[in-house]
Structure 1
Amino acid sequence: MIFADKALLPSGWENNVRIEVMDGKIGSVRVGTPAQPGDTRVSAVVAGMPNVHSHAFQRGHSGLTEIRGAGRESFWTWREMMYRFALSVTPEDVGILAEMAYVEMLEAGYTRVGEFHYLHHGAAGTPYENPAELSERIFAAAEHTGIALTHLPVFYAHAGFGPQAPNAGQRRFIHSLDAFVDLVAHCEARRTRPQDRVGFAPHSLRATSAEELDALCTALPGRKIHIHIAEQVKEVEDCLAFYGQRPVEWLFDHAEVNADWCLIHATHLTADETMKIAASKAVAGLCPVTEANLGDGLFPAPEFLAAGGRFAIGTDSNVRIDVAEELRILEYGQRLTARARNVLAREGGSTGRHLFDAASTGGAQALDAPAPQIASGAPADLVALADPLGLGQGDALLDRWIFGRDVAPSDVWAAGVHVVQSGRHIHRDTVQARFAEVLRRVLN
């Protein structure tokens, strides 16, 4: 049993809450009851946050791309370094890098990850005998660390609009349509835990032709679909030059975009495109830390949310892994633009609570997961927040976690397993040691 001084339930904040965990789910929730001997006592409990967008292997070069070159630095120059790193890792390395990322996600309060996985083949571009060799490493990393997984194998066929032939740095990513559909089937067969899911991800409009996108949607019905779109100004310009339309505009004219879709970044939008995404019930997958790190730009969040748009947060390049930081930068970017405060909150409401609730709901939708909540029958994916000053009351606790510095995750349960204790994952020491060995070898 878990006893929390405060817990955020579907009805709101309640005091003195005992939570029973049974077979990976919440068995019962009792409010206003005293703690019992043997209970795990914590200050406050909230449901775990979904991480809608991750490239786990990129955790390996976090902080290593901050050297300014001779010209203008951008996403496109960063990408060349990422390609070099991607060509240097073995299947075992991929699993270890994912384990490190997932340990840190759980410590941060994420309990489910959407893994946008485009490393598929050997370093020379030759498929492995098992087409899901690297995807299986992702499943194993999720199982070892305890995080729930929505695996999103990525279809990648071209270097740019045209379609352009893939370049040498992309050789580990490339698939034919038939081979990719076979990969998704292998991933589905590998899925053994009830909490795991398999969707798919056309990488982007520049890497997937119109005919291929249509064929994928036809061949893989009923699965969640994630796609990078309108992240960069150059991408928008290239799409306009080839299709005569902007990326989001073209997508809505050529695909049935609905609640099964997650549009990653969607940074550069017209007012009409913003309204179309909101009306479609698709989720905007926002990655504010990575978008800031790469200099992408700012999503038009106030207009989108005012129109009823749904969003989720993701760690993307995993340069930093922190629930509070993603939500804080999302809000702070809007404040800097609007020169105003509490831009994304509802009138009279907590900014932290609104951002937390919206990202939780949108993330669960995009990852085909049950709604994160502390209720009987829900997954026992729980995050305890330490409040050492004892000042947290209701939504103020979330505000102090996201915008302050004295509230932080202390314990995390994933499918009922107490995987983070006193701020550290139970496997951190062994995972971190293996991670360090991989980096020493790859970077040298």
Structure 2
Amino acid sequence: MQIVVKQALLPEGWAENIAITVSDGVITAVEPAGAGVAAGVDTLLPGMSNLHSHAFQRGFAGLTEQRGAMRDSFWTWREMMYRFALQLDPDGAQAIAEMAYVEMLEAGYTRVGEFHYLHHAPDGQSYDDPAEMSARIFAAAHATGLNLTHLPVFYAHGGFGPVPAGAGQRRFLHGFESFLELISHCDALATRPGDLVGYAPHSLRAASGADLSALVAALPGRRVHIHIAEQVKEVEDCIAFSGQRPVDWLFDHAEVTPDWCLIHATHLTEGEVARIAASGAVAGLCPVTEANLGDGIFAGRAFLEAGGRIGLGTDSNVQIGLAGELQALEYSQRLSLRERNVMTPQPGSTGQQLFDAALAGGAQALGAGDPVIAVGAPADLVALDDPFQLGTDGAQTLDRWIFGRDIRVRDVWVRGAHLVQEGRHVARDAIAQRYVQVVRDVLAR
């Protein structure tokens, strides 16, 4: 297969009139297109990693936007999420994940980090196959073609102390030995070249210091993701319990390395910003979900100025869009600081710098290797369609895609498979039909 493009984002920068040759899912040649060869693609980008997803939450996107009698917050939303989670069987969870993964591919993501904590049956008992629900995540990724970094969640407690988990959390819970068994089962499910397995202590609320130490010792060399400092109440509860803020407590009790991804990290002191940046860990930002839940605004400029690494996640999947996440990240910083073009450590295109940072940080967080258009790399590629041809160069194309409205994702290849064509996933119709039926059934209960 050969893809001829007008402009492509290569490791050394933008190049024009390029022919990309793909064989067995791998790029085998990147060279100037021959004279007179017409380009079939306007702009070609490396595929982006979506570093944080709870796929099942796609099933109630937009259905929690009604205020109750009391003030709404993350914590009231969480109770609604628990109620939805308790209704899903394995078939339903897979159908919803497939829909979410179709939409991720259509948005320009070619890998997802699935932060997966829906482990057990609705009554809290383990399935006969303890990895039944994880198997459905792998099945959804395989059916849609999306690369998967699976992150089974260790969830043992209901709060700092620790305190016992509540009834709404009963599908999430594991002891240490049963969790290691789950990881072993998940390793066996990772059958494609694009499949990886890490793990995720859910949060400092749900995994104690002893739990963290045991997990790190038992599961070396894997990607580690953790929710941290997402909510003010979480910070206050951590201080009340330990005398420290969450990020400082984590760094004083665990060796946080570039293998770690700290999800949200919304509420930080200057010192915590510096500690995360110096560690090389990735800050996993989910700006659309963070706005939807009223979490707060990440200290974006300070973190980048300290040399920090960022990546993007769709989290609750209330909206699934790569350009939208990048735009929301930049706009939140503008609203906070009352300036423009904030997430730009260097003069130049804001869109280009946002994309480059999220591309590198997302791939690091998910163990995906270098996301490049180069010989020997997997053919994980995203083609943008620019119908008006108004840009002067590739960077301006990214600016118009992220901050404008006339550029769209037209085609996506994952390991050479042409999964999105003319903006639609090749299996969208059948997957959407199953998804709609599942959600209708759940909402009718």
Give the TM-score normalised by structure 2. 0.98
Structure 2 partner of 1:439: 439
- 1:425 paired with 2:425, answer yes
Give deviations 1:268-317, integer Å, cap 9, x for gaps: 00000000000000000000000000000000010000011001000000
Structure 1 residue 347 displacement after superposition: 3.8
> Contact 1:109 / 1:383 at 8 angstroms: preserved in 2?
yes
Q: Give the secondary-structure state (helix, strand or coil) at the position aligned to 1:317.
A: coil
User: Aligned in 2, Cα 1:34/1:199: closer, same or farther, shift over 3 Å?
Assistant: farther
Distance 1:291 1:363 in 2: 17
- Residue equivalent to 2:281: 282
- Matching residue of 2:109: 110
Contact 1:229 1:248 in 2 (8 A): yes
Q: How much does 1:408 deviate? A: 1.2
Structure 2 partner of 1:228: 227
- Tell me what 2:272 maps to: 273
In the alignment, is residue 303 of structure 1 matched against residue 302 of structure 2? yes
- 2:334 corresponds in structure 1 to 335
Deviation of 1:41 after TM superposition, in Å, equals 1.0
Contact 2:304 2:345 in 1 (8 A): no
Count, aligned residues: 442
Specify the SS of the correspondent of 2:402. Answer: helix
- Are the equivalent residues in 1 in contact too, given 2:263–2:285 (CA < 8 A)? yes
Partner of 2:16: 15
State the Cα distance separating 1:35 from its structure 2 match: 6.2
**Equivalent in the alignment of 1:122:** 121
Look up the match of 1:72. Answer: 71
Cα distance in 1 between the residues matched to 2:378 and 2:35: 24
- Counterpart CA distance in 1 for 2:82 and 2:321 is 25
Matched residues in 1 for 2:370 and 2:94: separation?
28
Q: Which runs of 5+ in 1 are unaligned?
A: none
Which residue is equivalent to 1:3?
A: 4
Q: 1:195 maps to which residue?
A: 194
Superposition pairs of residues 398-413 of structure 1, within 5 angstroms: 398-413=398-413
Cα distance in 1, alignment partners of residues 194 and 370 from structure 2 = 12
In 2, Cα distance between equivalents of 1:22 and 1:135: 31
1:207 maps to: 206
Amino acid at match of 2:189: R
Aligned-pair CA distance for 1:371: 1.3
Residue 170 (str. 1) matches residue 166 (str. 2): no
Query: What is the deviation of 1:40?
Result: 7.7
The answer to whether the 8 Å contact 2:43/2:394 transfers is no
Decide whether aligned partners of structure 1 residues 226 and 35 sit closer, same or farther in structure 2, where only a CA change above 3 A counts. farther
After TM superposition, the structure 1 = structure 2 runs for residues 370-389 of structure 1, keeping only pairs within 5 Å, are 370-389=369-388
Whether the 8 Å CA contact 1:3–1:35 is kept in 2: the answer is no
Equivalent-residue separation in structure 1 for 2:105 and 2:39 (angstroms): 18
Describe the SS at the equivalent of 1:374: coil
Partner of 2:358: 359
* CA displacement at 1:25 relative to structure 2: 1.1
Which whole-Å CA distance do the structure 1 matches of 2:429 and 2:204 have between them? 41
Measure, in 2, the Cα distance between the counterparts of 1:162 and 1:35. 69
Q: 1:40 to 1:102 in 2, by over 3 A?
A: farther
Matched residues in 2 for 1:98 and 1:302: separation? 33
CA distance in 1, matches of 2:207, 2:277: 24
Name the CA distance, whole Å, in 2 between partners of 1:362 and 1:144: 26
Rounded to whole Å, the distance in 2 between the matches of 1:139 and 1:396 is 37
CA deviation after TM superposition for structure 1 residue 31, in Å:
2.1
In the alignment, the residues of structure 2 paired with residue 184 and residue 31 of structure 1 have an alpha-carbon distance, to the nearest angstrom, of: 45
Q: Is the 8 A contact 2:6 2:39 kept in 1?
A: no
Alignment check: 8 A CA contact 1:370 1:379 kept: no
Change (3 A) 1:31 1:346: farther
The gaps in structure 2 that reach 5 residues or longer are none
- AA aligned to 1:386 is D
Greater displacement, 340-349 / 69-78: 340-349
Counterpart CA distance in 1 for 2:439 and 2:108 is: 25
Q: Distance in 2 between matches of 1:89 and 1:32?
A: 50
Separation in 2 of the partners of 1:431 and 1:240? Answer: 45
Question: In 2, Cα distance between the equivalents of 1:348 and 1:238?
Answer: 40
Whether the 8 Å contact between 2:305 and 2:345 is mirrored in structure 1 is: no
Q: Which amino acid aligns with 1:415?
A: R
C-alpha RMSD over aligned residues: 1.0
Cα shift at 1:11: 1.4
Whether the 8 Å contact between 2:43 and 2:383 is mirrored in structure 1 is yes
Q: Distance in 1 between matches of 2:39 and 2:426?
A: 16
1:221-277 Cα offsets, whole Å, 9 max, x none, are 110000000000000000000011000000000000010100000000000000000
Matched AA of 2:418: H
Alignment of 1:140 with 2:163, yes or no, is no
Conserved? CA contact 1:17–1:31, under 8 Å: yes
1:415 matched to which residue of 2?
415
Q: CA deviation at 1:33?
A: 3.0
In the alignment, which residue of structure 1 is the partner of 2:29? Answer: 28
| Cα distance in 1 between the residues matched to 2:300 and 2:102 | 30
Identity of aligned residues (%): 64
- TM-score, length basis structure 1: 0.98
> Secondary structure of the residue that 2:20 maps to in structure 1?
strand
Q: 1:35 to 1:62 in 2, by over 3 A?
A: farther
- Equivalent pair of 2:4/2:33 in contact (CA under 8 Å): no
SS at match of 1:125: coil
Partner residue in 2 for 1:81: 80
Shift of residue 24 of structure 1? 1.1
Which amino acid is the alignment partner of residue 433 of structure 1?
A: Q
- 2:40 is paired with a residue whose SS is strand
| Deviation per residue, 1:194-228 (Å, 9 max, x gap) | 11100000000000011111101111111000000
